[in-house]
């Protein structure tokens, strides 16, 4: 990488300059970035103590946001700052996180408030400090923390103020696009949740509030339990770690189930390779239309095995498999019904508590389920699938935007390793 030297006259902590991989056209021929320390760019000071009893989770007139080490804690009558400020979390496992806040607010003693020196932009510092991964400078085990003294000596590369403004404007615009996409995704998820509340009957009722025209005159839904439908119910087995491999047959874990969708999230997949003749977990090989349910820790996360899930695939002891007769029951409908608010309350009420929360296979078979005719089951599932497909597409757009921002920041800033040389 091209390195340019700049005179350190008048700048006690200046070091050899650096040039990022990507610069805006008007700065292509400018001198390299100066190497300074965080203490040479801003003043760090902890906020003021506030009692937890003074904080309310509900915003009301006369109250101001209260920010701690990990972001918003609630709302309080007092304020410590007004304007645009960067806050650095200084205590806890997430210490070193960097956030940007606007307006009038109260910063607690667990947050370091960043006040830029002359010639430095608060918004630029926000992005620059995020690039430094400040958590690596924390000390302590049970309660990790950051000291102002240590942070003041951390190296940071700084461009001229005009270039700071340009970088901050670019990344702020991208953040606004990401925020708009996130709001769009949240709106779709909210719409889906409301639609499911209308497509499935409420407590004590046997008809939904919203029914497709072709089923308006159809009979009331049948109330039964999973066990009464005589499905094949089992769970995976232990000991799969010995068979982990970089490639092979898919191994589905709880991390592949997510509450936003019944689709399996296979972006972080594990694979197994069974030795010849091994029958470990053969009875839990997944088939299309299988319904998966998490039965330990976070109970009741629902997954559905569609045609996109490769075969063979296996599960471990933390997941239960429920397989119905496809000629009588549509597995995808069951998955959506079990993911509904009503069913999730039943899962919570049926959870076995102890040293580790869990749910038995017998408990799963006692879960209540409501069934319309098979054609109506498929119509409901098709409707929700279309919405899930849209949510998945919008989620992919959001992920792509975040990935683009991450790559852009890596090009707009010298890497922390270069700065520390």
Domain ranges, residue 360: 222-371
Q: Are residues 138 and 228 in the same domain?
A: no
Write down the H helix ranges in 52-160. Answer: 122-131, 148-152
Q: Is residue 322 part of a domain?
A: yes
Name the domain boundary from 113, 141, 160. 160
Predicted pLDDT of residue 93:
78
Whether 95 is covered by a domain: the verdict is yes
332, 352, 371 — which closes off a domain? 371
Quick one: pLDDT at residue 7? Answer: 37
For 40-51, the pLDDT digits (tens) are: 999 999 999 999
Instruction: List, in sequence order, every beta strand (DSSP E) within 197-348.
Output: 222-225, 232-235, 244-245, 249-252, 270-272, 291-294, 302-304, 313-315, 319-323
How many domains, the chain? 2
Write out the two tokens for 163.
């270039």
CB 361 within 8 A of CB 234: yes
Contact 132, 86 (CB under 8 A): no
The Cα 19–Cα 220 span in angstroms is 70
Confidence at residue 383, expressed as pLDDT on a 0 to 100 scale? 97
- Is residue 366 domain-shared with residue 226, that is, in the same domain? yes
**Which pLDDT value is given to residue 278?**
65
**What's the CA gap between 64 and 101, in Å, rounded?**
12
Please state the φ and ψ torsions of residue 256, each to the nearest 5 degrees.
-90, -5
10, part of any domain: no
Tens-digit pLDDT profile for the chain (421 aa)? 343 433 333 444 555 578 899 999 999 999 899 999 999 999 999 999 999 999 999 988 999 999 988 888 999 999 999 999 999 999 877 889 999 999 999 999 999 999 999 999 999 999 999 999 999 998 877 788 899 999 999 999 999 999 999 999 999 999 999 999 999 999 999 999 999 999 999 988 999 999 999 999 999 999 999 999 999 999 888 878 888 888 888 999 999 998 889 999 888 888 988 877 665 555 578 999 999 999 998 899 999 999 989 888 989 889 999 999 998 899 999 999 999 998 998 888 876 554 457 888 999 999 999 999 999 999 999 999 999 999 999 999 999 999 999 999 999 998 877 776 5
pLDDT for the residue numbered 310: 87
Strand partners, 261: 258
In sequence order, the 6+-apart residues with CB closer than 8 A to the CB of 83 are 102, 103
CATH assignment of the domain containing 296: 3.90.220.20
| CA gyration radius, the chain | 27
Q: Count CB atoms within 10 A of the CB of residue 83.
A: 11
Share of the chain above pLDDT 90, in %: 68
In this structure, the answer to whether residues 233 and 350 fall within a common structural domain is: yes
Regarding whether 242 and 137 lie in a shared domain, the answer is no
- The phi, psi pair for 81, rounded to 5°, reads -145, 155
Q: What is the rounded CA–CA span in Å between residue 306 and residue 92?
A: 41
Give tens-digit pLDDT for 265-310.
888 888 988 877 665 555 578 999 999 999 998 899 999 999 989 8
Residue 10's pLDDT is 40
Task: Give 141's Cβ-side CA count (13 Å radius).
Answer: 0
Q: Are residues 135 and 256 in the same domain?
A: no
DSSP secondary structure code for residue 58 in this structure? S
> Distance between CA atoms of 16 and 24, rounded to whole angstroms?
21
346 and 246 belong to one structural domain: yes
Tokens of 141: 């085990």
Question: Which pLDDT belongs to residue 273?
Answer: 87
Would you call 281 helix, strand, or coil by DSSP? coil
What token pair was written down for 421? 């040389």
Within a domain: residue 203?
Answer: no
Give the pLDDT confidence score for residue 5 in this predicted structure: 36
**58 and 149 together in one domain:** yes
145 and 276, same domain (yes or no): no
Domain-located, residue 253: yes
- The dihedral region occupied by 300, where left means phi > 0, alpha psi between -120 and 50, and beta the remainder, is left
Helix, strand, coil proportions of the chain in percent (round to 5)? Answer: 35, 25, 40
State the Cα–Cα distance between residues 255 and 266, nearest whole angstrom.
9
Q: Residue 53 domain-assigned?
A: yes
Angstrom distances, CA of residue 221 to CA of 93, 166, 365:
49, 61, 19
The answer to whether 387 touches 188, Cβ cutoff 8 Å, is: yes
User: Considering the domain boundaries, does residue 169 fall inside one?
Assistant: no
In a domain, 256, yes or no: yes
pLDDT for 277: 65
pLDDT at position 245 is 87
Alpha carbon 2 to its chain's center? 37
According to the model, what pLDDT value does residue 355 have? Answer: 46
Taking a C-beta distance cutoff of 8 angstroms, is the pair 378, 194 a contact?
no
Secondary structure class of 222 (helix, strand, coil)? strand
Say if residue 231 is in the same domain as residue 355.
yes
Residues 367 and 244 in one domain: yes
Question: Does residue 233 share a domain with residue 137?
Answer: no
Instruction: Identify whether residues 28 and 152 lie together within a single domain.
Output: yes
Name the H helices within 157-212: 161-199
Instruction: Indicate the residue among 371, 387, 409 that finishes a domain.
Output: 371
Q: So what's the pLDDT on residue 161?
A: 95
């Amino acid at each position: 990488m091209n390195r340019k030297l700049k005179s350190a006259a008048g700048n006690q902590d200046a070091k050899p300059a650096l040039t990022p991989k990507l610069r805006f056209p008007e700065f292509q021929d400018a001198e390299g970035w100066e190497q300074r320390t965080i203490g040479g760019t801003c003043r760090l000071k902890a906020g003021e103590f506030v009692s937890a009893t003074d904080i309310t989770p509900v915003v009301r007139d006369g109250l101001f946001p209260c920010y701690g080490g990990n972001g918003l804690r609630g709302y309080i009558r007092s304020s410590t700052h007004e304007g645009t400020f960067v806050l650095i979390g200084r205590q806890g496992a997430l210490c070193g996180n960097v956030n940007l806040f606007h307006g009038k607010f109260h910063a607690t003693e667990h947050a370091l408030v960043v006040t830029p020196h002359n010639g430095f932009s608060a918004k630029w510092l926000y992005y620059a400090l995020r690039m430094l991964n400040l958590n690596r400078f924390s000390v302590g085990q049970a309660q990790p923390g950051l000291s102002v003294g240590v942070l003041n000596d951390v190296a940071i590369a700084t461009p001229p103020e005009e270039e700071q403004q340009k970088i901050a404007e670019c990344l702020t615009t991208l953040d606004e696009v990401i925020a708009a996409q996130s709001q769009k995704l949240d709106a779709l998820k909210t719409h889906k949740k409301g639609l499911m509340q209308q497509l499935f009957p409420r407590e004590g009722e046997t008809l939904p509030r919203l029914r497709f025209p072709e089923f308006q005159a159809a009979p009331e839904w049948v109330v039964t339990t999973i066990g009464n439908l005589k499905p094949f119910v089992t769970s995976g087995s232990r000991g799969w770690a010995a068979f982990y491999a970089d490639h092979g047959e898919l191994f589905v874990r709880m991390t592949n189930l997510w509450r936003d969708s019944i689709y399996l999230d296979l972006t972080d997949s594990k694979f197994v390779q069974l030795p010849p003749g091994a029958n470990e977990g053969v009875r839990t090989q997944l088939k299309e239309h299988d319904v998966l349910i998490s039965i330990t820790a976070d109970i009741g996360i629902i997954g559905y095995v569609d045609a996109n899930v490769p075969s063979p695939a296996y599960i471990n002891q933390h997941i239960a498999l429920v397989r119905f007769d496809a000629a009588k029951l549509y597995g995808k409908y069951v998955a959506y019904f079990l993911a509904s608010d009503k069913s999730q309350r039943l899962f919570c009420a049926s959870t076995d508590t102890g040293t580790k929360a869990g749910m038995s296979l017998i408990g799963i078979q006692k879960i209540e389920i409501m069934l319309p005719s098979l054609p109506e089951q498929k119509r409901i599932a098709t409707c929700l699938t279309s919405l899930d497909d849209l949510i998945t597409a919008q989620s992919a757009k959001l992920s792509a935007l975040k990935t683009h921002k991450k790559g852009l920041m890596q090009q707009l800033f010298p890497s922390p390793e270069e700065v520390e040389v």
